[in-house]
Amino acid sequence: LTEFREASGFGDALAALEDNPLPHHLVVRPDKSASGPAEIETLRRYFEAFPEVDVVQLDLEWVRRLHSLLDVMRRSLWVIIAVLGLGVLAVIGNTIRLEIQQRRPEIEVTKLVGGSNAFVRRPFLYTGIFYGLGGALLATLIVVGGMAYVDRAVGVLAAQYGGTFRMTGLGREGMGILLGTGVVLGWLGALISTGRHLRRIEPRA
């Protein structure tokens, strides 16, 4: 009744009622892990089975649409992840390839005096790791700086609509994932590039 009084605007008229004439109602919010259309349908059947329950109101069509939309977004996100990950690998791989070309005479001499491929590869792998780590740190700075810049304006806009929406940053976990991803991609890009190009460099007689 309180909710109805606030939403309907019949405050004075409702004050004349001695007790609540409206039937009881329960609002059930399913857990995140059970928010799929099939689970929600099961939940509806479960509540309908109670003899005390008259009506179970649920717009399953909207739940299905929302899940389809989320599925499209999730798949698009994976495509973006793959493309950007490949982009990072390509940038690091190409940078390492240029470094290998630049240091070709040095690599030839190292191999001539018995330096193994692993020995020659090692500095390039570290370079790749530093590129990945540095790029990830820069990405973190861009995200944190961007969030801080936009946050105040978003807060003001949200307040005008009566909300308290705030931008949340990456968080420690997000930063850890970003830095880890950067290091792994840097190392992998360097590994692929050195694997391809170092084999071709052999000391000339």
174 binds another protein (CB under 8 A): yes
72 binds another protein (CB under 8 A): no
CB under 8 Å to 135, separation ≥6 — which residues? 88, 182, 186
Minimum CB distance to another protein, residue 170 (Å): 6
Closest CB to another protein among residues 141, 159: 141
Residues 97 and 195: their CA atoms lie apart, in Å, by 10
187 binds another protein (CB under 8 A): no
CA distances from 131 to 45, 86, 186, 187 (A): 55, 15, 6, 9
Residues 110 and 130: their CA atoms lie apart, in Å, by 23
Residues 107 and 200: their CA atoms lie apart, in Å, by 11
Residues 205 and 198: their CA atoms lie apart, in Å, by 17
Scan residues 87-146 and list those touching another protein (CB under 8 A): 87-88, 91-92, 95, 99, 119, 122-127, 130-132, 134-139, 141-143
Minimum CB distance to another protein, residue 94 (Å): 9
Closest CB to another protein among residues 30, 134: 134
From the CB of residue 105, how many other CB atoms can be counted at a distance below 10 Å? 9
Chain residues binding another protein by CB under 8 A are: 77, 80-81, 84-85, 87-88, 91-92, 95, 99, 119, 122-127, 130-132, 134-139, 141-143, 170-171, 173-175, 177-178, 181-182, 185-186
